[in-house]
Chain A
Amino acid sequence: MTEFYGLPNTGEFWHWTNALHFVLVGLAGGMAFLAAILTLRQHPERKRYWWLAGILIALDLFVLWAESPARWRFSHIWLFFSFEPGAPIWWGAWGLSAAMAAVALLLLKQWVRLLERIPEGVLGVVMLLGSLVVLAYPGFALAVNTTRPLWNSMMLAIFPITALLMVLAIAILLGSTWAKRWEVWAAALSLGLLLAYPFTLQEAAREHLFREGLVGYALAGLLIAVAALLFRNPRWAAALGLAGAVGLRWLLVMVGQFQSPGL
């Protein structure tokens, strides 16, 4: 039997607000990625996606700041006055900023004479690079913690791919026909990862996942599976895939705050 005087700080350190951010940052990065591709391909729908990307990035940055206990100390400025390449969150701060700057310039270009001469392609490339960083960093932010056995290297794949699943779903719901084909792929890949993931875990971690999150995990899997199969009805597929991806990301953030046994 183990007893304590005082307690180790084992409680949840990332709360539902952080889980919300892990969803929003997927939407923000994914949408910026779509916007960047559409920009580089000179697609007629691109403007709408600039707006979407801009709003989602701003929303995520706002949530990040608003939920931080440090919000009124304005210490976040240090994210940009430091060089911390070992910190996924530092990369995320710069990636989101780069994508946001590109989006802002693309939108302003339409009205501000001075900016007219900046080529769209250059901003598209900046947005693309920023979005790739944003897509990648949440998975890294989890997987760097080798002491958290649920957050293994599968996070590096699950987070970017479910992000794409979410934004492609939104694109379908907004009537962008090009998104349909890719959505099926994103759903199929997400499903594959979701099925493989439990087999990649140490036993104690797998037990923890199933004890704490079996219902949620199964439900997310079911939603994504149906989404992958619903070729005939892309809108339903999109809605279900979106819900499944949101659920999966949320669950992994919350349930993964689990210390490896050994203390």
Chain B
Amino acid sequence: MARLGMLIDLSACVGCAACAVACKMENQVPAGANRLWIREREVGVFPDLTVEFRPEQCNHCENPPCVPVCPTGASYQTQDGLVQVDYNKCIACGACIAACPYDARYIDKKGGYADKCTFCSHRVAKGQQPACVETCPTYARIFGDLDDPNSEISKTLEAAGRQDVLRPDMGTRPKVIYLNAPSKKGLTQEVMES
């Protein structure tokens, strides 16, 4: 049993969206939907100007609000801490979309089910890295078992400076952890604009 998670080092991310494109291709994500996208935000004014490039995706929350609201059990958490959708059971009711604070989910209209980032579980099962991790040109992403003290992810997390998650106030305990947010105030928020 593992506790799979991902680190994204924002001091390395240049927002090139290679990960987002890799995801689209690997997972055949339908047009109009995204499992992974980049949010780019400027903070401050010259000369104290910062740009945050922030890839976002399903956080595979440890306390995922999308799971208990699912009326069929289609949305579930694996023993390894992944939040997944069993397409056969999904009735595309959208309850999970309503519950997700991160806009991570969409309805695959052709398939008729809810979908989102799977942490590339099909690749992980074969011992490969998620497509976004593999493709990242700046090595900003690290994927692995947060419970294994010898894993690269645990060691990096241990040594890391600033760590943030999105919307910690939601109590979801995300397992996509952002390192080294460029702004001193941490991850940017909508309200910080202007």
Q: For residue B98, which residue of chain A has the nearest CB?
A: A145
Identify which of A72, A141, A261 contacts B112 (C-beta below 8 A). A72
The answer to whether A82 and B38 have CB atoms under 8 Å apart is no
Q: How far is the CA of A207 from the CA of B90 in the complex (A)?
A: 34
Question: Known contacts A78-B73, A82-B73, A87-B71: does B98 contact A14 (CB below 8 Å)?
Answer: yes
Q: How far is the CA of A76 from the CA of B91 in the complex (A)?
A: 6
B35-54 contacts to A (CB < 8 Å): 36-42
Q: For residue B67, which residue of chain A has the nearest CB?
A: A86
Q: How far is the CA of A259 from the CA of B141 in the complex (A)?
A: 27
Number of A-B contacts (CB under 8 A): 160
**Interface size on B (CB < 8 Å)?**
51
Q: For residue B24, which residue of chain A has the nearest CB?
A: A6
Residues from chain B with Cβ under 8 Å of A82 in the complex? 71-73, 89
A1-46 contacts to B (CB < 8 Å): 1-11, 13-14, 18
The answer to whether A4 and B99 have CB atoms under 8 Å apart is no
Majority secondary structure of chain A interface residues (helix, strand, loop or mixed): loop
What are the 9 tightest A-B residue pairs by CB atom distance, in nearest-first order? A6-B37, A86-B68, A147-B101, A90-B71, A8-B103, A89-B71, A78-B72, A5-B17, A69-B112
The answer to whether B189 and A262 have CB atoms under 8 Å apart is yes
The answer to whether B94 and A145 have CB atoms under 8 Å apart is no
Q: For residue B69, which residue of chain A has the nearest CB?
A: A87
B17-66 contacts to A (CB < 8 Å): 17, 20, 33-34, 36-42, 56, 65
Q: For residue A83, which residue of chain B has the nearest CB?
A: B73
Q: How far is the CA of A90 from the CA of B46 in the complex (A)?
A: 53
Majority secondary structure of chain B interface residues (helix, strand, loop or mixed): loop
Residues from chain A with Cβ under 8 Å of B139 in the complex? none
Nearest-Cβ distance from residue B93 to partner chain A, whole angstroms:
6
B78-115 contacts to A (CB < 8 Å): 88-95, 97-107, 109, 112-113
The answer to whether B190 and A148 have CB atoms under 8 Å apart is no
Instruction: Write the A94-114 contact mask toward B (1 if CB under 8 angstroms, else 0).
Output: 000000000000000000000
The verdict on B169 contacting chain A, using a C-beta distance below 8 Å, is yes
Nearest-Cβ distance from residue B14 to partner chain A, whole angstroms:
11
Identify which of A6, A10, A263 contacts B166 (C-beta below 8 A). A263
Residues from chain A with Cβ under 8 Å of B167 in the complex? 147, 262-263
Residues from chain B with Cβ under 8 Å of A79 in the complex? 71-72, 91
Identify which of A9, A86, A90 contacts B97 (C-beta below 8 A). A9
User: Which of B41, B109, B190 has the most chain A CB atoms inside 10 A of its CB?
Assistant: B190
Residues of B within 8 A of A (CB): 15, 17, 20, 33-34, 36-42, 56, 65, 68-74, 88-95, 97-107, 109, 112-113, 166-167, 169-170, 189-191, 193
Identify which of A4, A14, A76, A146 contacts B38 (C-beta below 8 A). A4
The answer to whether B69 and A6 have CB atoms under 8 Å apart is no
Nearest-Cβ distance from residue A207 to partner chain B, whole angstroms:
12
Q: For residue A6, which residue of chain B has the nearest CB?
A: B37
Q: How far is the CA of A6 from the CA of B106 in the complex (A)?
A: 13
The verdict on A211 contacting chain B, using a C-beta distance below 8 Å, is no
**Interface pairs (6), CB distance under 8 Å:** A5-B37, A78-B88, A82-B72, A86-B69, A262-B190, A263-B190
Nearest-Cβ distance from residue B125 to partner chain A, whole angstroms:
24
User: Which of A5, A7, A87 has the most chain B CB atoms inside 10 A of its CB?
Assistant: A5
Residues from chain B with Cβ under 8 Å of A147 in the complex? 65, 99-101, 167, 170
The answer to whether A69 and B39 have CB atoms under 8 Å apart is no
